[in-house]
Amino acid sequence: MDYRTTFIIGLGFFTVALVWSIYNVAVPLYLDDLGLSGLLVGVVMTFMYDLWGEPWIWIAVAGFLASSFIGGGLISKRAKALEALVASNGPADPGVRGGLQRLLAVSRIDLVILIIVIWDMVYKPFA
């Protein structure tokens, strides 16, 4: 066993691992200094690592889009309608109670989608 060669090869692996870790920490900070949002930083780094072919990325993107649609499209509209109903009929109105129950049901669906996205990003199925 040649200890010098083994040491040099080990030092090379150590150096690559160290530089890779610094790169993973530094690049998001540099991109953030450019004024990019967290979403854009993620998209840029996904392109840098060429991860767009991974199924877990597409699951996360689909979940993000679904949650954005539910939050921006459904929940906000229902909340505004519910606010107008409370202003006109008062909080004790049966329509308010039903509207609130529907709003909470949609919010629970959105929460389930976000939990699935978090699970997907942690465990990376099909990777």
- Mean per-residue pLDDT, 50-76: 89
pTM across the whole model = 0.64
Core vs surface per residue 109-124: b (16+ CB within 10 A) or e: ebeebbebbeebeeee
Q: What is the Cα 26 distance to its own chain's centre? A: 20
Read off the tokens for 109: 């669906």
Residue 89 pLDDT greater than 70, yes or no: yes
- Mean per-residue pLDDT, 34-46: 76
Q: Which residue has the higher pLDDT, 24 or 35?
A: 24
How far is it, in rounded angstroms, from Cα 107 to Cα 101? 10
Residues 46, 57 contacting (CB under 8 angstroms): yes
What does pLDDT average to over the chain?
87
- Mean per-residue pLDDT, 75-102: 90
